[in-house]
DNA sequence: GTTGAGCGTT
């Protein structure tokens, strides 16, 4: 299969647009999203069954249903919670703002799992060992062994994340004999005390690894809604900012641990908790409001912690 | 090459 154009439309009855494939015949979701902002996938009507079928999507890459894409029209999928954001959607089914936020959460599961810290690991225990052990409880979607960056030695603790909340509960309820030592699995302190987030369209993405590119982040986060900006500080600082078109989408993600290319990242609000901006300008009476406001806008784009 | 309560390179 070689490079071609596939026909894509927002609706089966709409005028389709031709979108280019890659050299290997796949189509990038980002290519679709370039023409249909906020798109999260494609579907098509199966000629045999007359049912709609989803197009396979792996890591931002759409795969042709058969040997090639053929001449049929593919229909753009939008995130459910984000549906009202798109002008093509009729106003009759318009949800109010609260519904839009909760729809995202419901779609993603009411019983959210979170990373568990695994304390007391033997120095020799590897990530494979952890995965083998915890897989006996249920499906594992992430394991980490924290190591010294220089020596590569284990620090004796790690993290695990399960698909199902029941598995997580079971694992937390008991001690674990791993490679000859008793270990405990707990909710990490880092996610204790979730504070009231500021309302913002921008989220802070913590615990990024260096192999996560801006494009990786964009590809990943666009499943939740239209991404308008991705910022990764250079040199590497282990965090990033992602801005969504809609505040509801951003807020619905705050406080969550998400797994991108095997890396568990933490989402929180982009706004610093204790802004000292107004203190900085408080010595300039009269002018301070506008100066502070100007600085705040600049700060918002390029937080001081980046330089 | 060591260690054994903790907390993931904001």
Phi and psi at A81, nearest 5°, equal: -70, -15
**Cα–Cα distance between A257 and A195 in angstroms, integer?**
15
Residue A27: strand pairing partners: A62
The answer to whether the pTM exceeds 0.85 is no
pLDDT in the model for residue A2: 72
CB atoms within 10 A of CB A3: 10
**Neighbouring C-alpha atoms within 13 Å toward the C-beta of A60:** 16
pLDDT in tens, A256-301: 999 999 999 999 988 654 444 443 443 333 333 333 433 433 333 3
Q: Protein A67 CA to nucleic acid B7 C1', in Å?
A: 49
Joined together, the tokens standing for residue A235 give 């040199």
pLDDT mean over A6-18: 93
Gyration radius from chain A CA atoms: 23
**Cα–Cα distance between A181 and A25 in angstroms, integer?**
50
Q: What percent of chain A has pLDDT over 70?
A: 74
**Confidence band for A189, pLDDT divided at 50, 70 and 90:** confident
**Cα–Cα distance between A200 and A188 in angstroms, integer?**
26
Q: Which nucleotide is nearest to A236 (CA to C1')?
A: B9
pLDDT, averaged across chain A: 79
pLDDT in tens, A135-163: 999 999 999 999 998 899 999 999 999 99
Q: Protein A303 CA to nucleic acid B10 C1', in Å?
A: 11
A70 touches strand B (CB under 7 A): no
> Exposure pattern of A91-124 as b/e (b: 16+ CB <10 Å)?
eeeeeeeeebbebbeeebeeeebbbbbbeebeee
Dihedral sign, Cα of residue A151, residue A152, residue A154, residue A155: positive
Inter-residue contact A39 to A78 (CB < 8 Å): yes
pLDDT in the model for residue A270: 84
Q: Comparing A206 with A304, which gets the higher pLDDT?
A: A206
pLDDT in tens, A21-68: 999 999 999 899 988 888 899 999 998 899 999 999 988 899 999 889
Joined together, the tokens standing for residue A240 give 């990033």
Which residue's alpha carbon is at the shortest distance from the C1' of B8? A207
Strands A61-63 and A27-28: antiparallel
pLDDT in the model for residue A111: 63
Name the residues in A143-172 having a C-beta closer than 7 Å to nucleic acid strand B: 144, 146, 151, 153-157, 159
């Amino acid at each position: 299969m070689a490079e071609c154009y596939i026909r894509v439309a927002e609706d089966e009855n709409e005028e389709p647009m031709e979108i280019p494939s890659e050299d290997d015949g796949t189509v990038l979701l980002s290519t679709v999203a370039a023409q249909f902002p906020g798109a999260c996938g494609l579907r098509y009507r199966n000629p045999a069954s007359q049912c709609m079928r989803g197009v396979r999507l792996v890591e931002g890459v759409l795969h042709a249903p058969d040997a090639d894409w053929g001449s049929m029209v593919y229909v753009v999928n939008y995130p459910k919670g984000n549906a009202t954001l798109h002008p093509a959607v009729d106003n009759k089914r318009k949800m109010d703002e609260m519904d839009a936020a909760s729809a995202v959460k419901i779609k993603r599961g009411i019983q959210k799992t979170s990373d568990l810290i695994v304390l007391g690991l033997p120095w020799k225990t590897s990530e494979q060992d952890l995965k083998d052990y915890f897989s006996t409880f249920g499906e594992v979607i992430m394991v980490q062994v924290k190591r010294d960056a220089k020596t590569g030695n284990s620090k004796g603790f790690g993290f695990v994340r399960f698909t199902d909340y029941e598995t997580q509960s079971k694992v937390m309820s008991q001690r674990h004999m791993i490679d000859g030592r008793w270990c405990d699995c707990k909710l990490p302190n880092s996610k204790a005390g979730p504070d009231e987030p500021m309302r913002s369209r921008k989220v802070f993405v913590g615990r990024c690894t260096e192999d996560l590119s801006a494009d990786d982040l964009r590809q990943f986060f666009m499943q939740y809604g239209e991404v308008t900006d991705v910022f990764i500080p250079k040199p590497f600082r282990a965090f990033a900012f992602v801005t969504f078109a809609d505040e509801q989408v951003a807020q619905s993600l705050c406080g969550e641990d998400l797994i991108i290319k095997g890396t568990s990242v933490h989402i929180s609000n982009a706004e610093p908790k204790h802004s000292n901006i107004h203190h900085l300008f408080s010595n300039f009476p009269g002018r301070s409001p506008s100066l502070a406001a100007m600085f705040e806008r600049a700060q918002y784009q390029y937080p001081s912690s980046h330089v």
